[in-house]
Amino acid sequence: MLEPPLQSFDMETLSFARQLSEILTVLLGLAISYIAYRGYRRNRSRPMLFVAAGFVLVVGVPALVTLVLYVLFDVPVPVVNSVGQVSELVGMVAILYGLWMPRSG
Interval 50-92: pLDDT, tens? 999 999 999 999 999 999 999 999 999 999 999 999 999 999 9
Q: How many residues does the chain have?
A: 105
d(CA 26, CA 38): 18
d(CA 93, CA 65): 19
Which pLDDT value is given to residue 49? Answer: 95
Tell me whether residue 37 is in a domain: no
Range of the domain at 75: 45-105
Helices (H), the chain: 11-43, 46-55, 61-65, 77-100
- pLDDT band for 8, please (50, 70, 90 cuts): low
Tell me whether residue 23 is in a domain: no
Taking alpha carbons only, the member of 51, 59, 49 closest to residue 87 is 59
User: How many domains in the chain?
Assistant: 1
Q: Considering the chain, what percentage of its residues have pLDDT values greater than 90? A: 83
Mean of pLDDT values over 35-59: 95
